[in-house]
Each structure stands twice: as structure tokens, then as C-alpha cells.
Amino acid sequence: MEYINIASIPTELTPDQFSLVYNAFSLCIAAMFAAALFFFNAKSQVGRKYQIAIIISGVVVSIAGYHYFRIFNSWETAYTLQGGAYLATGQPFNDAYRYVDWLLTVPLLLIEAVAVLALNKNISRPLLTKLAIAAVLMIGTGYVGEVADSITTRAIWGAVSTLPFLYILFILWTELSQAVERQDNRVKTLLNGMRFLLLFSWGVYPIAYLLPELGIEGATATVGVQVGYTFADLLAKPVFGLLVFSIARVKTQIDETQAAEPHSVTATNGNRAEELVGSTQ
């Protein structure tokens, strides 16, 4: 079986294959920029200490939207329609934009997941440091395999990239769980949803990554990888950000309720005092 490095592209695509990738990129650009507008405007709906997480969500989808715009343009110039088929123009398809995007956005995604909980600095800082380093290692080693010239090398670096991924999951399911034990049950439920969404969406990446090793090659592999990565990015960025926003909203409501309780107690005690004074007159 001939291995085709997906950093290169097939010389010919059917109109359906080209359009599937083209439309997936277009959908992703629209979703990213729409999410950015939402997050930057919605930050005022949460408490001040949670706003940083919502701002990071907006930054993440903005970065992704920019890189998808560049990927979209690169895909468009890489092919031209001739005789009912899309033929390679000789212009390179620069898929490295995707890894540049991940190198920036994946650590930020993990940072926003911790930031929205507003934990004490002595708890959050070690978590953020470990998660950020693991994320950079995961993306960096994955890229080495992505541009490899053989399936064996690709598989080796893919396995290496899996190790920091498993470490990230370990932190999210153990150390982060311990840090949020005193959180409200609603927050815990949303946090579990956020973690499982991260697991599911990130699980799409290795599936797309492994397509050439599963015997899927050529145009089918290229289309599968591009659409798979794009679908995973939609889940891991805008949808993930919406869950972060939901957590911030719930925590804001809890803080407002707790802040109002002392005033309610004071008002109640004042009314009772007035009643006692009135009864003695």
C-alpha cells in the first residue's frame, strides 16, 4: 500500500469531495466568528472573577476562525475545476495552519476550563502549568507524526503524542475533581459534561490521524482528515466555550444568592425588633 503524506494533497478530487471539505471549512469559519461575538458580548453576564474564562473563550474561537480562514483560502487555491473534476494547481495546501492554531488554542482551552472555577491561586497555578506543558507536548509530537514520510514513523509519534493526552485526562479526572469537591452540584454536573465533551471531541482527532494507517488513502484519506479535524474543532472550541459560559453563569448566580443572604437575615432581624418594640408600647 502506498502511503500518501496528508501534508501533501491528492492530484484529483471529485466535485463532491472538494465541496465537502470546502463547506466544512466555511461552516467552521462562520461558527468560530459567531461564537467570538457571543463570548465577548456575554462576558458582562457573569461575575467579574469568571469573565477571564469567557474572554479566553472568545480569544480561542477568534484564533481558530482566523486560521480556518487561511486554511480555507489555501484549499481554494490548491485546486481548480477542469473537465468535471478538481485538479491540483501545484499550489501547496498549507495544513500547518491547523497545528499553529492548536499550539495556541489547546493550552488556552485548558486554561479556561480551570479559570472558570475561580480556584485559589495555590491550587490553580500548578494545574495550569501542568496542563499547558502537556498540551504543547501533545501538539508538538503529533505534528512530527503528521508530516512523517512513513506510516511507521507516523504511528510512533502518534503514540508519543498520546502520552501527554492521557496525562491531561488524568489531571482533569483526578486533581481537578479534588479541587472542586466543594462546588455546587450544578457546577459539578456541568464540569462533568465539559470533561466528557473534551474527551469526545479530542477523541475525533486520533481517529482522523489514524486514517492512513487503517488503509484509507488518497483523496478519501485527505477528505476524511480535513472534515474530521474540522468537526472536532467545532466541538472543542465553540461548544466547549458554551459549557464554560454555562458554568460561569451558574457560579455567578450562586455568588449573588450567597451575597444576598446576609442582607435578608439583617432585614428579618430588623423587622422582628420593630415588632417587639411595637408590642411593648
Q: Is residue 245 part of a domain?
A: yes
Give residue-wise pLDDT tens across range 140-184.
Answer: 998 888 777 777 887 888 889 989 999 998 998 888 887 777 788
Residue that wins the pLDDT comparison between 52 and 264: 52
Cβ atoms of 42 and 116 closer than 8 Å: no
Cβ atoms of 89 and 79 closer than 8 Å: yes
Predicted local confidence at residue 264, as pLDDT: 53
Cell numbers standing for residue 200:
469526545
Neighbours of 59 (CB within 10 A): 17
Residue 266 has pLDDT above 80, yes or no: no
Beta-bridge partners for 82? 85
CATH number at residue 202: 1.20.1070.10
Q: Is residue 263 part of a domain?
A: no
Residue 128 has pLDDT above 50, yes or no: yes
Predicted local confidence at residue 117, as pLDDT: 87
Q: Is residue 37 part of a domain?
A: yes
The DSSP line for 32-99 is HHHHHHHHHHHGGGS-HHHHHHHHHHHHHHHHHHHHHHHHHHHHHHHEEEETTEEEE-S----THHHH
Q: Is residue 226 part of a domain?
A: yes
Nearest to 102 by CA among 241, 9, 232: 232
Predicted local confidence at residue 78, as pLDDT: 94
Give residue-wise pLDDT tens across range 192-247.
Answer: 888 889 888 888 887 777 776 676 778 888 898 899 999 999 999 999 999 999 99
Question: Residue 212 to residues 18, 70, 145, 258: CA-CA distances in angstroms?
Answer: 19, 25, 12, 55
Written as one letter, the residue type at 251 is: K
Average pLDDT of the residues in 15-34: 97
Q: Which domain holds residue 198?
A: 12-253
Written as one letter, the residue type at 130 is: K
Nearest to 236 by CA among 190, 189, 191, 203: 203
DSSP letter at 216? -
Q: Is residue 210 part of a domain?
A: yes
Q: Is residue 231 part of a domain?
A: yes
Q: Is residue 29 part of a domain?
A: yes
Residue that wins the pLDDT comparison between 178 and 31: 31
Q: Round to whole Å and give the CA distance between 229 and 206.
A: 9
Average pLDDT of the residues in 81-108: 91
Number of separate domains in the chain:
1
Average pLDDT of the residues in 70-98: 92
Q: Is residue 175 part of a domain?
A: yes
- Across the chain, mean pLDDT equals 86
Half-sphere exposure of 207 (CA within 13 A, CB side): 13
Question: Residue 147 to residues 139, 150, 157, 209: CA-CA distances in angstroms?
Answer: 13, 9, 10, 11
Residue 277 has pLDDT above 90, yes or no: no
> Given 3-state DSSP classes, what are the helix, strand and coil percentages for the chain, each rounded to the nearest 5?
80, 5, 15
Neighbours of 10 (CB within 10 A): 19
Nearest to 191 by CA among 172, 175, 216: 172
Residue that wins the pLDDT comparison between 270 and 19: 19
Cell numbers standing for residue 2:
502506498
